[in-house]
Amino acid sequence: MRKHVLRLSQLSIDLCVLALAFAAAFLMRFDWRPPADMLGRLALTVPYVVLGEYLVLWMFGVPRFSWRYIGLRELWRILAAVLIANVVLLWTRLGLGELQDSYAYLRHGVIPLGVIAGNFVLMFLGIAGVRVARRVLGEHLESQRRARSSRSVESVATMLVGAGQGGVIMAKEIANRPDLGLRPVGFLDDDPAKKGLFINGIKVLGTTDELAAHCSREGAQQVLITMASAPGETVRRITRFAEDVGLPVKIIPGLFEIAGGRVELTRIRPVAIEDLLRREPVELDTDAIGRHLRGRVVVVTGAGGSIGSEICRQVADFGPERLLLVERAENNLFQIHRELSRVKADLEIVPLLADVTDRERMDEIFAEHGPSVVFHAAAHKHVPMMEWNPGEALKNNVQGTRTVAELSDQHGVESFVMISTDKAVNPSSVMGATKRVAEMFCQALAGRSKTRFVTVRFGNVLGSAGSVIPIFKEQIAKGGPVTVTHPDMQRYFMTIPEACQLVLQAGTMGKGGEIFILDMGQPVKIVDLARDLIQLSGFRPGEDIEIEFTGVRPGEKLFEELSVDSEQADKTRHPKIFVGRRQPAVWDELIGHLETLGEHASHPTRAEVVRALRACVPEYHEPPAPPDPSLAPSPPEPAPARPRVPTGGLVPSGVE
């Protein structure tokens, strides 16, 4: 009932506005003293004009716009509708003007041109104005309500850094939401053209280099970085400036978090280590990814892992017909299925408890569901753990990949994407060597199959289970020490969402047999990462929390590589994805090696596994002995310039 009353009220207001605008245009045309015959003409034409104008507004969907949330896009639609309505009036007036000499009575319907011009302006101002007024009133009442409910919330004087799009949105939200507890004292922005401008009532005071002086002058109690796309170096620099004057720093979420639908721009939080490692946002060809996934049955193996679960989240956003979650860890499968079922209620999500090494079970899954796309993320990934359990690395990384790949070929899967690692390049560990064997098998099978087999290789991802960041956080929470294997250990980092977005993009590329290599950005010393994380936790490195060097673990290298000369890595149409075209292994020889590896998968000695892997992967070697980690770390050096992958040289990357 209330809905119908509201719609009837809005209809009445619109009709009144149209009538008043037309009448006012008549009066203005004749200086508010129209002749008697013009008043008669107004009375005669107003019903037809108002109904005709409303019909045009209805055709443009204007009556269906929400008055409470009217925006710029809706105003453009209103302007277009008003323009068309008055063009119709003009066309009618010109037509009647030609005919009135022959039919005198038609002159009573001729509307003066000045009236049409005035009606155009007044009609737009009236129709748009009542909606804008409703929005302003609604926001005012909502602001007052929030102010009453948040009187107990103490506002904190806050310096906003970044007067771009994110800053504008935050300024509006702060004004409309007293419950956030923020009182902006000014903007800082490195664009000199913005200095002195006011953005939503907040003045741009200067640049970030002047942060200390402006914060002191304005009495700021904290700093808020309002740049969703700020690179890590910028976040690091601003954080350092704020820490120098003892001010806490907070930040709005990054683009990956916002684009992933997990958080809103206004979800303010403390600066995290991921923010210090931000890079330029990745631009994706979402149309190509959509064509690749939309309406398809998609399998993700290892669906409960760090990478697998994120691939599931992102695949679900592209509207597949069915998403199959293959995972052998029951609890992990339960968690990702529960999460996706809650946020994607309209998508058929099938949780499948299965081990990729169980050929019979995997064959049942492929036969029952007939998948079109497979993302193979199931793998054992921890380098030292696989040194201690080499047979399990063979079972999961080699035999598991072979099983899923062969079943994909047999069941006519269109696309198979294997997730690999930089540790597969010149491997120095059992884990890296087994992933290299998996790459070789997929590449060789691509030449014999209609299925498009591609491999995506990248390095360390921030926050994955068992990776360096969660370990450091746990050590800091216990009061230290933070353990780093070696002062010169250096790796490239990428966020999990960023890596998975590029995996989906790479899955749309190539004809089969390619190894796609993700650009990992700038390298970071692990010891510098430890220092940053200690500082972000509110402690002083070396004083409050010690950093202890423990020595390089079995199978680790000080540097990792993403490509080698023989792969001839080259650019693709995406600036952050490169492609390597290494010569495939000879099929019969590779199958012979795989059979030998299969024999060593159960009850092997490490020496037997290493010998069999070296026979299959000649470049597999033990890493050279690193310098003694007990020695004092070398002085900090600027990160070396990022060599482009296409050069074919050795490119340092990744860590476990």
pLDDT, residue 148, reads: 63
User: Which burial class, exposed, middle or buried, applies to 502 when counting CB atoms under 10 A from its CB (0-12, 13-18, 19+)?
Assistant: buried
pLDDT, residue 450, reads: 92
The pLDDT-based confidence of 643 (bands split at 50, 70, 90) is very low
Higher pLDDT, 365 or 64: 365
Q: Is the pLDDT of residue 454 over 70?
A: yes
Average pLDDT (431-435) is 92
pLDDT in tens, 588-625: 888 888 888 888 777 667 888 888 888 898 888 765 54
Q: Is the pLDDT of residue 281 over 70?
A: no
3-state secondary structure of 122: helix
pLDDT, residue 321, reads: 92
Cite the DSSP H helix spans in 428-584. 430-446, 468-477, 496-506, 526-536
pLDDT, residue 561, reads: 53
pLDDT, residue 646, reads: 34
pLDDT in tens, 139-155: 777 767 766 655 556 78
pLDDT, residue 120, reads: 93
Length of the chain: 656
The pLDDT-based confidence of 653 (bands split at 50, 70, 90) is very low
Q: Are 229 and 281 in contact (CB under 8 A)?
A: yes
- Mean pLDDT across the chain, nearest whole number? 80
pLDDT, residue 331, reads: 93
All residues at 6 or more sequence positions from 304 whose CB lies less than 8 Å from its CB, including other chains? 325, 327, 329, 331, 332, 333, 335, 336
All residues at 6 or more sequence positions from 38 whose CB lies less than 8 Å from its CB, including other chains? 26, 30, 112
pLDDT in tens, 147-181: 665 555 678 899 999 888 888 888 887 877 777 77
pLDDT in tens, 377-401: 999 988 888 888 888 999 999 999 9
* Structure-token pair, residue 168: 């504008």
Q: Could you give the CA distance from residue 374 to residue 318 in angstroms, rounded to a whole number? A: 15
Q: Are 486 and 626 in contact (CB under 8 A)?
A: yes
Q: Is the pLDDT of residue 408 over 80?
A: yes
Average pLDDT (429-452) is 91
pLDDT, residue 357, reads: 93
Average pLDDT (97-101) is 56
Q: pTM (2 decimals)?
A: 0.59
3-state secondary structure of 256: helix
Considering the domain 286-462+492-520+559-620, what is its CATH architecture?
A: 3-Layer(aba) Sandwich (3.40)
pLDDT, residue 514, reads: 82
Can you give the residue ranges of every domain in the chain? 2-148, 156-276, 286-462+492-520+559-620
pLDDT in tens, 462-505: 655 556 777 887 888 888 788 888 887 777 677 777 778 778 88
Average pLDDT (229-256) is 78
DSSP state of 423: G
The pLDDT-based confidence of 633 (bands split at 50, 70, 90) is very low
pLDDT, residue 636, reads: 41
Q: Is the pLDDT of residue 640 over 60?
A: no
The pLDDT-based confidence of 652 (bands split at 50, 70, 90) is very low
Q: Could you give the CA distance from residue 312 to residue 335 in angstroms, rounded to a whole number? A: 12
Q: What are the CB-based long-range contacts (under 8 Å, 24+) for 236-245? A: 236/276, 236/532, 237/208, 238/161, 238/208, 238/211, 239/271, 239/276, 239/536, 241/208, 241/209, 241/211, 241/212, 242/211, 242/215, 243/535, 244/212, 245/211, 245/212, 245/215, 245/216
Q: Is the pLDDT of residue 438 over 60?
A: yes
Higher pLDDT, 121 or 233: 121
How far is CA 119 from each of CA 24, 26, 51, 321, 446, rounded to the nearest angstrom? 8, 8, 14, 51, 68
What's domain 156-276's superfamily in CATH?
Answer: NAD(P)-binding Rossmann-like Domain (3.40.50.720)
3-state secondary structure of 380: coil
* Equal fold, 156-276 vs 286-462+492-520+559-620: yes
| pLDDT above 90: percentage of residues in the chain | 26
Cα-Cα-Cα-Cα dihedral sign, residues 189, 195, 197, 203: positive
Higher pLDDT, 205 or 34: 205
